[in-house]
Copies of this chain bind each other. A is one copy, B any other.
Amino acid sequence: MRIIELKETVTASNDRDAEVLRGELKAKGTLLVNLMASPGAGKTTLLERTIRDMKDRFEIAVMEADVDSDVDAVRIEKLGAKAVQAHTGGMCHMDAGMTRRALDELGADHFDLVVLENVGNLICPAEFDTGAQKRVMLLSVPEGDDKPLKYPLMFSVSDVLILTKTDVAPYFDFDFEACKRRARQLNPNIEIFEVSAKTGDGFEAWENWLAKAIEDNRA
C-alpha cells in the first residue's frame, strides 16, 4: 500500500479542474464517489461491508485521505481491494488536484468504482469539488439529529445521506423523521438510507443504489 504526501493544489480553477477530471473518469467508465462525514461516523466500516458485498461484481479501489496515519488503508487492503493512503499535509479537505494525484497512484488498472474517503470533517470537504460524480455523506446516530441545522452546506451538496449506526439507536435520542425532514428542507432530492454496518440492516438498498450508479456511469 502506498502512502502519498499531498499539498493543496495551487490553482484558482478548482471547479474547472474538477470538471475535466469528471469527464476523464466518465470516459473510462469509472465512477468516483466522494465519501464525506465527521470523524468516527463510520466511513471505513461502511466501505468494508460494501466492498465485501460488491467486490465480485465490480472492480473497486479506495483512496483514503487523512491528515495522518494509514490505519484506514490497511483495513481496506485486508479485504483484497486496492487502496492508497493520501496524507493531506494538515489540510482539512481534498480538492480536484489532490484527488488526481491520488488517482494516479492507483495506477493504470481499470476500476468500476473508486471511493475517495475524504478527511473526517463536516465543513471543509463540502466546499471543494473533487471531480467525483457522486457525493455521499454519512451521519451517525450518536452525532444527533440536529446536524443539518449546523452544517447545512454538506447536506445541500450531497446526492446521498446515509444514516449510520442504527443498531445503537435505542441508546440515543435520535429523531429519524426530524433529521430527514431537516435534510430534505436543504436538499429536496437527497437520497436517504439508514444502515447498520454491524448488523447489515439497510445495506441492500444502499448497495442497489450504488450498483445502479456504477452501471449508469458505464452506459
**Copies of this chain present:** 2
Across the interface, do B92 and A146 meet the contact criterion of CB distance under 8 Å?
no
A187 to chain B, nearest CB (A): 14
- Report yes or no: A124 in contact with B122, Cβ–Cβ below 8 A: no
Query: When the two chains form the complex, which single residue of B68, B92, B144, B153 contacts A40, counting CB atoms closer than 8 Å?
Result: B144
Whether A150 and B68, one on each chain, are in contact in the complex, defined by CB atoms closer than 8 angstroms, is: yes
For the side of the interface on A, what is the size category? 20 to 34
Give the residues in chain B near A50, CB-CB below 8 Å. none
Q: State how many angstroms separate the Cβ of A11 from the closest Cβ of chain B.
A: 20
**A67 sits at the interface (CB 8 A):** yes
Judge whether A69 and B124 touch: CB under 8 Å: no
Which A residues from 119 to 169 make CB contacts under 8 A with B? 119-124, 127, 140, 142-144, 146-147, 149-153, 165, 167-168
- Knowing A122-B121, A149-B68, the reply to whether A143 touches B90 (Cβ < 8 A) is no
Q: A90-B127, A90-B153, A124-B92 are in contact. Are A69 and B39 (CB under 8 A)?
A: no
Task: List 11 extra interface pairs beyond A68-B150, A69-B150, CB under 8 A.
Answer: A38-B143, A39-B150, A40-B142, A67-B123, A67-B152, A71-B149, A90-B127, A92-B124, A142-B143, A142-B168, A167-B171
Task: List 28 contacting pairs A-B, 8 Å CB cutoff, sorted by A.
Answer: A38-B39, A38-B40, A39-B147, A40-B140, A40-B143, A40-B144, A40-B147, A67-B150, A67-B153, A68-B149, A68-B151, A68-B152, A69-B146, A69-B150, A71-B150, A90-B127, A90-B153, A92-B121, A92-B123, A92-B124, A119-B123, A120-B122, A121-B121, A121-B122, A140-B142, A142-B165, A168-B172, A171-B171
